[in-house]
Every structure is written in structure tokens, then in C-alpha cells.
């Protein structure tokens, strides 16, 4: 398993899935969001991955940071699907509403169970790999 700790998050790659866990009480503004994405792209060596984001420790995020994370040139760069993970009720309501309103350009879902999230991401990864193979 490949892993790294950055200023803001812990990244690892497990079974072809990029896992991201925010550090305790992380407040994400636009500068922080840009740094997280820069660190992620360097860690993945610019390869495509589905991502599991555990944001249980995140304290807050600004609208500018959310918009950047949901843009093709920002947070969606290098991703083929995203699962958001948290056991807390408040973030789950927020993320589900956000996903309905903003319609990300990649498949995205909220989960409270890590095993279910990983299973869903493995299907996204398999579908992506099958489509790539078909067109090569």
C-alpha cells in the first residue's frame, strides 16, 4: 500500500482506490483546497483513480473551496468517481444536498459504511477500465 501524510490530509492507495482522510478540525478555504489537490496529483503521479474521501474530521469549508473541488480543472482532475464517507448525520445531509444541486461531472455518492463505499468505487474502477480497454 502506497501512503503519504501531507499538511492537510492522509492519502493512501489501496486496491486501486485512492483514499483521503482529512486531518482533525481541518478548515478548507480556497488556498487549502488548491494545496490538497496539488498534493493529491503529485501523490498519484497524475494517474486516474476513484477516490474515497473520509471527511469526518473536517471542520468547515468555504463556498469557493467547494466550487473549486467540484471543477474539472480543480478537484475533479484525475478522478473517475468519488465516494464521500462520514458517520455523522449533519455532513450526510449537507453532502447529499450538495450532490443533488451541483451534479458532479463524475459519479459521486455519500456513504456511512466504508465497505459499501469501497465496493461501489471498485465497480466504478472496473467500469472505467473496461471502457478504456474497449476503446484502445
Each residue of 15-50: pLDDT tens digit?
999 999 999 999 999 999 999 999 999 999 999 999
- DSSP-derived letter for residue 3 is E
CATH classification for the domain delimited by 2-126, as one of 3.90.1150.10, 3.30.365.10, 2.60.40.3880, 3.30.750.24 = 3.30.750.24
Supply 61's cell numbers: 469549508
pLDDT at 91: 60
For 82, counting Cβ atoms within 10 Å of its Cβ (0-12 exposed, 13-18 middle, 19+ buried), the class is buried
In whole angstroms, how far apart are CA 53 and each of 1, 75, 133?
17, 12, 27
pLDDT at 37: 97
User: What number of other Cβ atoms are within 10 A of residue 36's Cβ?
Assistant: 24
User: What number of other Cβ atoms are within 10 A of residue 103's Cβ?
Assistant: 9
For 29, counting Cβ atoms within 10 Å of its Cβ (0-12 exposed, 13-18 middle, 19+ buried), the class is middle
- CA-based nearest residue to 41, from 64, 9, 84: 9
The pTM (predicted TM-score) of the whole model is 0.87
Amino acid at each position: 500500500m502506497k501512503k503519504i501524510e501531507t499538511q492537510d490530509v492522509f492519502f493512501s492507495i489501496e486496491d486501486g482506490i485512492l483514499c483521503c482522510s482529512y486531518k482533525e478540525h481541518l478548515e478548507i478555504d480556497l488556498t487549502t483546497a488548491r494545496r490538497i489537490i496539488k498534493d493529491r496529483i503529485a501523490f498519484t503521479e497524475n494517474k486516474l483513480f476513484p477516490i474515497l474521501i473520509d471527511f469526518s474530521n473536517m471542520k468547515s469549508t468555504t463556498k469557493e473551496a467547494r466550487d473549486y473541488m467540484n471543477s474539472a480543472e480543480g478537484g475533479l482532475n484525475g478522478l473517475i468517481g468519488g465516494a464521500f464517507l462520514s458517520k455523522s448525520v449533519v455532513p450526510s445531509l449537507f453532502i447529499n444536498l450538495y450532490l443533488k444541486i451541483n451534479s458532479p461531472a463524475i459519479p459521486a455518492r455519500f456513504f456511512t459504511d466504508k465497505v459499501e463505499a469501497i465496493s461501489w468505487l471498485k465497480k466504478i474502477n472496473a467500469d472505467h477500465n473496461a471502457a478504456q480497454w474497449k476503446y484502445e
